[in-house]
Amino acid sequence: MRITVLCFAELAEALGTPEFTLDLPDGTDVEAAMDAVCGHHPPAADRRGTLAIAVNERYASTTHVLRDGDVMAMVGPVSGG
């Protein structure tokens, strides 16, 4: 299956792209997808503990099983004022 991964702000800068695709085995969950992201984009590993993950515009747990065509967004911490 193929998913699209979105990155925002500082994370997109660190990875050098705001968006990329990943080919993953059927039945892959968010945790395994994050393992793949970190393997392809090592700067993501340094930020992994601070990222929230959304799938198709809804926050998702690490056990959420992805489907072909899903969009997984990695959302970093945001400060406001």
Q: Going along the chain, which residue ranges are E strands? A: 2-7, 19-23, 52-55, 58-59, 71-75
Q: Give residue-wise pLDDT tens across range 15-74.
A: 999 999 999 999 999 999 999 999 999 999 999 999 999 999 999 999 999 999 999 999
Q: How confident is the model at residue 80 (pLDDT cuts 50, 70, 90)?
A: low
Q: Give residue-wise pLDDT tens across range 32-47.
A: 999 999 999 999 999 9
Tokens of 56: 């198709």
**Bigger pLDDT: 72 vs 10:** 72
Tokens of 19: 């968006």
pTM of structure: 0.91
C-alpha 66/C-alpha 28 separation (Å) is 6
pLDDT of residue 81: 55
